[in-house]
Amino acid sequence: MSLLEKEFSTLEKDLTSTPLRISAYHDLPFAIFRYDPWDEFSCRNRIRLLAISLEQNHHKRVTFVSLGKILWKVIRETEGLEAIIAEERQLGFDHVQQTIYNLLSDSDFMPLPDVLEKRMEHLNPVKNLVFLVRAGALAPSIFRCSALLDKMHGRTMVPIILFYPGTAEGKTDLRFMNMPERANLGAYNYRVKIYGGD
């Protein structure tokens, strides 16, 4: 069994235990499942198999929430894709990336935590689980995954697993998409459990 398979097995056990073992804090039912960015497609398949097992063998309902789909929804429903394309042509990638960050964080637009909370509001914390996928859409610096989980604290008791494409340096330091400038440097020490850390 590969290390990745072992981590998936551990995650399944922790998600089906009573109480859940994904977090040391009862009001912070979140965890991160880190995988190498180059394993994206094989990991997607394994995530779906995990969801099937949780539903068929443990009567859990898994809701997939794509951060990529939310990103494009926010762009479409605020500035519009054509405006974003025109802005990038005129002012460059870094500028448009900041604009998209503003769309996802400013209360005048559609803050990502608000959109995610609304997407989850009908879910039952006892029966439902949320798998946050396609986090790579937020690269390179559109929105920090660590900030998203921090901002979800207190908004929901539904367990969330963020599937995080990145590399690990020790148990708590994550580097988003393996980009040197994106080390999170212990952002999750003692708060959120990380599966797949080295």
Residue 109: pLDDT band (50, 70, 90) is very high
How many Å apart are CA 129 and CA 113, to the nearest integer?
17
Q: Determine the pLDDT at residue 126.
A: 92
Q: Determine the pLDDT at residue 3.
A: 83
Q: Determine the pLDDT at residue 78.
A: 97
pLDDT tens column, 41-87:
999 999 999 999 999 999 999 999 999 999 999 999 999 999 999 99
Indicate yes or no: pTM above 0.85: yes
**What single-letter amino acid sits at 133?**
V
pLDDT tens column, 139-196:
988 998 888 988 998 999 999 999 999 988 766 678 788 877 654 444 444 478 889 8
Spell out the domains of the chain, with CATH numbers in brackets: 3-13+21-66+111-195 (3.40.50)
Q: What's the Rg (C-alpha) of the chain? A: 17
* 3-state SS track over the chain: CCHHHHHHHHHHHHHHCCCCCCCCCCCCCEEEEEECHHHHHHHHHHHHHHHHHHHHHHCCEEEEEEHHHHHHHHHHHCCCHHHHHHHHHHHCHHHHHHHHHHHHHCCCCCCHHHHHHHHHCCCCCCCEEEEEECHHHHCCCCCCHHHHHHHHCCCCCCCEEEEEEEEEECCCEEEECCCHHHECCCCCCCCCEEECCC
* Cα–Cα nearest to 45, from 16, 5, 2, 10: 5
How many Å apart are CA 196 and CA 94, to the nearest integer?
31
